[in-house]
A and B are shown apart, each in its own frame.
Chain A
Amino acid sequence: RKEVEQDPGPFNVPEGATVAFNCTYSNSASQSFFWYRQDCRKEPKLLMSVYSSGNEDGRFTAQLNRASQYISLLIRDSKLSDSATYLCVVNGYTSGTYKYIFGTGTRLKVLA
């Protein structure tokens, strides 16, 4: 089982739609969680951190369920500019260092 698993997609949605991505992680000792956005052939950019109580940033809402070991990202009112790959990232302290584990990403295409 992969340490961080995501549905690769692609998710093709019309503009204005609501879309949700899920991510599961295997290490119950993981400490921090993030969603990154990556555009084609560009560097990953932090979209938002994910907090235990859930958090929102404009049209984006992130949730964490530690008991079930999954993280979600909800995008409301999708824009064409939201088309990208969304990476789920989990960080934990193991073997004397902080280890970031990246999912392989979920591709989103927002259609006009």
Chain B
Amino acid sequence: NAGVTQTPKFRILKIGQSMTLQCTQDMNHNYMYWYRQDPGMGLKLIYYSVGAGITDKGEVPNGYNVSRSTTEDFPLRLELAAPSQTSVYFCASYSGASTGPQHFGDGTRLSIL
């Protein structure tokens, strides 16, 4: 019963490097989301997707890109890592039912040095 799976769990990058944070869910959920959470702060929405082939920006999309080629996968790409992107990144999914909750992965802790 995997739910939402994120990889890697931890990563250290150098400034200017690029990487992809992976997120996959096995619940056949149409909606998927990427959030970041800085220390002591709330969740901020980066990007979201309402189905395969459809993505849209959240409140803090700059410096990130996403794609959604399948229902299961929603990778988040950092092209030119900057220290301001040091954060914990959470992926979440949601069925689309009007009263349904979001389900979260256990996060990727990313440090940019």
* A→B interface (CB under 8 Å): 31-32, 34, 36, 41-46, 49, 87, 89, 93, 96-98, 100, 102-105
Contact = CB atoms under 8 A, between A and B. Distances in A.
B50 A97 contact: yes
Given A31-B98, A31-B99, A41 B88 contact: yes
Nearest to B91: A43
Interface residues of B, number: 23
Interface string B74-113: 0000000000000010100010101111111111010000
B101 A34 contact: yes
B12 interface: no
Contacts of A45: 104
Nearest to A104: B42
Interface of B: 31, 33, 41-43, 48, 50, 56, 88, 90, 94, 96, 98-107, 109
Ranked nearest first, the 6 interchain pairs of A and B with the lowest CB-CB distance are A104-B42, A43-B104, A32-B99, A102-B43, A46-B101, A43-B106
A32 B42 contact: no
Contact of B107 (A42, A97, A100, A104): A42
A10 to B, nearest CB: 12
B41 A44 contact: no
The dominant DSSP class at the A interface is strand
Nearest to A2: B42
A100 B56 contact: no
B110 to A, nearest CB: 13
Q: Which of B88, B98, B101, B105 has the most CB of A within 10 A?
A: B101
Given A42-B107, A43-B104, A44-B104, A102 B50 contact: no
Contacts of B43: 44, 87, 102
Given A97-B56, A100-B33, A43 B105 contact: yes
Contacts of A46: 101-103
